[in-house]
Amino acid sequence: MAEILVVSGFISSNGVEPMAVAELSKDNFEQTIKDKDFVIVDFWAPWCAPCRSFAPVYDKVSEDHDDILFAKVNTEEEQEIAAHFRIRSIPTLMIFREQVIVFAQPGALPEAAFRQLLEQAKELDMAEVHRQVEAHGQATA
């Protein structure tokens, strides 16, 4: 079976060391969200200065959270994904917990605010979130 995630890495004197951030594409996005309970996605583009300035913060925070999959979507290369999620401004952060989007907002966050956001997302009562999603689905059906 093929590997689902393409993990970016860097070369060190010891060879290739995996980074905590995965690159998502239309080929692995859906399966990744299904397979992982907690995924945070940074929608970005190479030409975007705020995206480039946020990247070191994103990478640094990812190193402290083994329980969360940190991923990136290059909106230039993955326009289909960006269109599906109606990404209009970048960077945009999106947090998935158990296949539910619990946060989506454009803008680069300072490190402290980003860490606080992750703690709040961790503390969510996902049973209650799923009940609310189901109730909303029934109300709009």
> Active-site residue among 48, 68, 81, 95?
48
Which two tokens mark 67? 């329980």
* 27 in a structural domain: yes
pLDDT at 141: 64
pLDDT in tens, 50-73: 999 999 999 999 999 888 999 999
pTM (two decimals): 0.81
* 24 in a structural domain: yes
> Active-site residue among 21, 39, 51, 95?
51
> CB of 108 within 8 A of CB of 57?
yes
Flag whether pLDDT at 19 surpasses 70.
Answer: no
Q: What percent of the chain lies above the pLDDT cut of 70?
A: 85
**What residues pair up with 43 in beta bridges, in sequence order?**
73, 92
> CB of 32 within 8 A of CB of 69?
yes
pLDDT in tens, 103-125: 999 999 999 999 999 999 999 99
* 25 in a structural domain: yes
* 136 in a structural domain: yes
Flag whether pLDDT at 128 surpasses 50.
Answer: yes
Our answer to whether residue 51 is catalytic in this structure is yes
Tell me, what CATH number does 80's domain have?
Answer: 3.40.30.10
Among candidates 56, 36, 15, which has minimal Cα distance to 99? Answer: 36
pLDDT at 20: 64
Domain residue limits at 80: 6-140
Beta carbons within 8 Å of 7's beta carbon, 6+ residues apart: 18, 19, 21, 22, 23
* 11 in a structural domain: yes
Lowest-pLDDT choice from 13-17, 37-41, 97-101, 126-130: 13-17
Our answer to whether residue 42 is catalytic in this structure is no
* 1 in a structural domain: no
Residue 18: asked if its preceding bond is cis (omega within 30°), the reply is no
104 sits in which H/E element: strand 100-106
* 16 in a structural domain: yes
Torsion of CA 7, 91, 34, 19, to 10 degrees: 20
Query: Domain count of the chain?
Result: 1
Flag whether pLDDT at 2 surpasses 50.
Answer: no
